[in-house]
Amino acid sequence: MNPTIELLKSHRSIRKFKDQQIPRELFEDLIRAGQCAATSNHVQAYTIIHVVNPESRRKLAELAGGQTYVETCSDFLVFCADMKRATESAEKAGAEVIRGMTEQLLVASVDAALIAQNVVVAAESEGLGICYIGGIRNNPQDVSDLLKLPAHVYPVFGLCLGYPDQNPEVKPRLPLAAILKEDVYDDAEDEALVASFDDTMARYYGARTGGNKDTNWSEQLKPLFTSKLRPHMKEFLNKRGFGVK
């Protein structure tokens, strides 16, 4: 196993950071490494908002559901899907552009995820810790107002970066056979594989809490699906000019 693969396999989210700033030069290098990720048709449909204002950080921590590490990490980024820059550039070059396609929502959201994951790998290769903040979509309109996002730009997720002040275990993942299938989607084995993964996760939660947390993967997922998760997203995206057509 080469050191890069070893690094990837050692990932875990960090939610407690040292009071230590990432040097600006290194920070920029992480973003540049991120930019080298693949991008659909070279469109680079993303903008990263680097939030340094302490009051904005406090508000974002609150808007994301009280996630204090948004405030306490060294650098907090909001990765935005951005169809504004590319479509306006094509427009200035003389094109009559069409906006609002669902396909553009996918292209920009995937582009934002690819650059982010490269930033994450680069950061972790320098001993930094990270935590994705999906909670930025709890109140996406307020986040957009705070960051003054224009139309055709929407906040996909946040990312905390900083020097780790904790050393959590790597969390287990589904068995390979569950998520990797040959030629066709065949879920005949999935029930057994999930049952075995439920056991793995029950042991993991048990060990972490000295036997006080009696749960497993399937149980943990229940609250995610029993309520309408972020039911505002459809209308919010439409309002921002994403996914209308």
Query: How far is Cα of residue 82 from the mean position of the Cα atoms in its chain?
Result: 15
Q: Which is nearer to a second copy, 10 or 212 (CB)?
A: 10
Nearest by Cα to 192 from 206, 174, 204 = 174
Q: Which is nearer to a second copy, 72 or 82 (CB)?
A: 82
Q: Which is nearer to a second copy, 66 or 231 (CB)?
A: 231
CA–CA gap between residue 160 and residue 181 (Å, rounded): 33
Query: What phi and psi values does residue 241 have, to the nearest 5 degrees?
Result: 90, 30
Q: How far is the CB of 148 from a second copy (least distance, A)?
A: 4
Q: Which is nearer to a second copy, 181 or 208 (CB)?
A: 181
Q: Which is nearer to a second copy, 37 or 141 (CB)?
A: 37
Q: How far is the CB of 18 from a second copy (least distance, A)?
A: 20
Q: How far is the CB of 219 from a second copy (least distance, A)?
A: 5
Nearest by Cα to 121 from 205, 62, 37, 49 = 37
Q: How far is the CB of 210 from a second copy (least distance, A)?
A: 21
The helix (H) or strand (E) run that includes residue 46 is strand 46-51
Q: How far is the CB of 23 from a second copy (least distance, A)?
A: 14
CA–CA gap between residue 55 and residue 33 (Å, rounded): 29
Is residue 206 within 8 A of residue 213, CB to CB? The reply is yes
